[in-house]
A and B are shown apart, each in its own frame.
Chain A
Amino acid sequence: MTAVTAPPTKASAGPAPARRTARLRPVVRVLSLLAALGLWQLLTTLDVQLWLRFDQFPSVTDVAGEFGERLGDGAYWQDVTDSLRRITTGFLLAAVLGVASGVAVGRSRWAADLVGPVLEVLRPVPAIALVPVAILLFPSNEQGIVFITFTAAFFPVLVATRHAVRALAPVWEEAVLTMGGGRWRVLASVVLPGALPGIFGGLSVGIGVSWICVISAEMISGEYGVGYRTWQDYTVIDYPGVFTGIVTIGLLGWLTSTVVELLGRRLTHWLPRREGKATS
Chain B
Amino acid sequence: MSTDTDTTVTAQRTEQSAPGARLTVTGAEFGRPGAVVLRGLDLEAASGEILTVVGPSGCGKSTLLRTLAGLLPALAGQVAQDGRPVTGPGADRALIFQEDALLPWRTARANVELPLAIRGLGRPERRARAEQWLERVGLAGLERQLPHRLSGGQRQRVQLARALAGQPRAVLMDEPFGALDAQTRAGMQQLLVEALAGSGATVVFVTHDVDEALFLGDRVALLGAGGLAGVRTVPSPRDRGARDDPATVALRHDILESLSPRTS
Q: Which residues of A contact B (CB under 8 A)?
A: 1-5, 7-8, 169, 171-172, 174-181, 185, 189-190, 193-194, 196, 268, 270-272
B227 located at the interface, meaning its Cβ lies under 8 Å from any Cβ of chain A in the complex: no
B242 located at the interface, meaning its Cβ lies under 8 Å from any Cβ of chain A in the complex: no
Once the chains are docked, how many angstroms separate the CA of A3 from the CA of B191? Answer: 11
Selected interface stretch from B51-59, B86-94, B208-216, B255-263: B86-94
| Pick from B71, B88, B138, B145: contact of A3, CB under 8 Å | B138
| Pick from B102, B136, B149: contact of A8, CB under 8 Å | B149
New A-B contacts (17) at CB < 8 Å, excluding given A8-B145, A179-B118: A4-B139, A5-B142, A171-B97, A172-B103, A174-B71, A174-B95, A175-B101, A175-B102, A175-B162, A176-B118, A177-B70, A178-B69, A179-B115, A180-B90, A196-B105, A268-B105, A272-B104
| Pick from A1, A8, A176, A189: contact of B194, CB under 8 Å | A1
Chain A residues with CB under 8 Å of B105's CB are 193-194, 196, 268, 270
Q: Quote the shortest CB–CB distance from A184 to chain B (angstroms).
A: 11
CB closest residue in chain B, given A178: B95
Chain B residues with CB under 8 Å of A181's CB are 114, 118
Q: Does A172 lie within 8 Å of B146, measured CB to CB?
A: no
| Pick from B114, B145, B149, B190: contact of A176, CB under 8 Å | B114
CB closest residue in chain A, given B93: A178
18 contacts between A and B (CB under 8 A): A1-B138, A2-B191, A8-B145, A169-B99, A171-B100, A174-B66, A174-B97, A174-B101, A175-B97, A175-B102, A176-B118, A178-B71, A178-B90, A178-B95, A179-B166, A180-B166, A181-B118, A272-B148
CB closest residue in chain B, given A272: B148
Interface of B is mostly: loop
Once the chains are docked, how many angstroms separate the CA of A270 from the CA of B139? Answer: 20
B151 located at the interface, meaning its Cβ lies under 8 Å from any Cβ of chain A in the complex: yes
Chain A residues with CB under 8 Å of B172's CB are 178
Question: Beta-carbon contacts of B146-167 to A below 8 Å, as 1s and 0s?
Answer: 1011110010000000100010
Most chain B beta-carbon neighbours within 10 Å: one of A7, A171, A175, A178? A178
Chain A residues with CB under 8 Å of B139's CB are 4
Q: Does A4 lie within 8 Å of B119, measured CB to CB?
A: no
Q: Does A190 lie within 8 Å of B103, measured CB to CB?
A: yes
Q: Does A180 lie within 8 Å of B115, measured CB to CB?
A: yes
Chain B residues with CB under 8 Å of A180's CB are 89-92, 115, 118-119, 166
Once the chains are docked, how many angstroms separate the CA of A194 from the CA of B104? Answer: 8
| Pick from B89, B140, B142, B191: contact of A178, CB under 8 Å | B89
Q: Does A174 lie within 8 Å of B138, measured CB to CB?
A: no
Q: Which residues of B contact A (CB under 8 A)?
A: 1, 5, 66, 69-71, 88-95, 97, 99-106, 114-115, 118-119, 136, 138-142, 145-146, 148-151, 154, 162, 166, 172, 187, 190-191, 194
CB closest residue in chain B, given A182: B118
| Pick from B69, B103, B154: contact of A5, CB under 8 Å | B154
Q: Quote the shortest CB–CB distance from B75 to chain A (angstroms).
A: 19
Q: Does A270 lie within 8 Å of B138, measured CB to CB?
A: no
Q: Quote the shortest CB–CB distance from A83 to chain B (angstroms).
A: 35
Q: Quote the shortest CB–CB distance from A1 to chain B (angstroms).
A: 5
CB closest residue in chain B, given A196: B105
| Pick from B88, B104, B118: contact of A270, CB under 8 Å | B104
Chain A residues with CB under 8 Å of B114's CB are 176, 179, 181, 189
Chain A residues with CB under 8 Å of B154's CB are 5
CB closest residue in chain A, given B157: A2
CB closest residue in chain A, given B191: A2
Q: Quote the shortest CB–CB distance from A86 to chain B (angstroms).
A: 33
Chain B residues with CB under 8 Å of A272's CB are 104, 148
Q: Quote the shortest CB–CB distance from A89 to chain B (angstroms).
A: 29
| Pick from A2, A169, A194, A196: contact of B187, CB under 8 Å | A2
Q: Does A189 lie within 8 Å of B71, measured CB to CB?
A: no
Most chain B beta-carbon neighbours within 10 Å: one of A3, A174, A185, A271? A174
Chain B residues with CB under 8 Å of A1's CB are 1, 5, 136, 138, 191, 194
Chain B residues with CB under 8 Å of A196's CB are 105
Counting from the closest, the 8 A-B pairs by CB-CB distance are A180-B91, A179-B115, A177-B89, A270-B105, A171-B101, A178-B95, A272-B148, A175-B101
CB closest residue in chain B, given A3: B138
Once the chains are docked, how many angstroms separate the CA of A43 from the CA of B94? Answer: 71
